[in-house]
């Protein structure tokens, strides 16, 4: 196994992040995610991250809640307290952050600008042993 310091987020993050504005509908967002084959969209306004929508948000906060996805704006279902990390973060630390926050997607920000995104699955492909990090908080709470 390589030294932990060699595994940094920047080396494994997706650099082409799907971004949408908060006024698009859930249906439009879901279609964009399907076209790009991604599990999340970062919501932006005036160049700033204002939220994130994941497949889970769409299924739980929209479909299961009985909302009309064709008229509901993503701003209604997005997570607003977005956890971000810098690109030089070690993967191990990023995975700890995911486990602590019980999330699966981390937008990567450098100098206030969105430069990528990394998911739990991205990290597990590199270091499968990190699965224990995600499991630990779930066992505690």
Q: What DSSP assignment string belongs to 57-70?
A: HIIIIIITTT--TT
Q: Which helix (H) or strand (E) holds 131?
A: helix 131-140
CA 107 to mean position of chain CA atoms: 6
For the chain, give every domain's residue range. 4-140
Give the Å distances, CA to CA, from 75 to 6, 85, 90, 139.
37, 22, 31, 32
Q: What is the pLDDT of residues 68-124, one digit of tens each?
A: 999 999 999 999 999 999 999 999 999 999 988 989 999 999 999 999 999 999 998
**pLDDT tens-digit profile of 13-25?**
999 999 999 999 9
Topology of domain 4-140, CATH: CBS-domain (3.10.580)
Pairing of strands 40-45, 105-110: unpaired
Name the average pLDDT for the chain.
90
Pull the structure tokens for residue 103.
């999330």
What secondary structure letter does DSSP report for 8? B
Structure tokens at 71: 């008229």
Residue-level pLDDT at 5: 59
The Cα 49–Cα 29 span in angstroms is 16
Whether the full predicted model's pTM is greater than 0.75, yes or no, is: yes
């Amino acid at each position: 196994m390589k030294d932990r310091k060699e595994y940094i987020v920047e080396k494994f993050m997706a650099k082409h992040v799907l971004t949408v504005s908060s006024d698009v509908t859930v249906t439009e967002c879901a279609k964009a995610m399907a076209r790009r084959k991604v599990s999340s969209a970062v919501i932006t306004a005036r160049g700033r991250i204002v939220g994130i929508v994941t497949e889970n948000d769409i299924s739980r906060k929209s479909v299961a809640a009985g909302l009309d996805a064709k008229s509901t704006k993503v701003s209604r279902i997005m997570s607003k307290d977005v956890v971000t990390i810098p690109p030089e973060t070690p993967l191990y630390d990023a995975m700890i952050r995911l486990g602590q926050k019980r999330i699966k997607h981390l937008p990567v920000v450098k100098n206030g600008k969105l430069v990528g995104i990394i998911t739990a699955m991205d990290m597990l492909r590199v270091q499968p042993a990190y699965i224990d990090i995600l499991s630990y908080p779930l066992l505690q709470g």
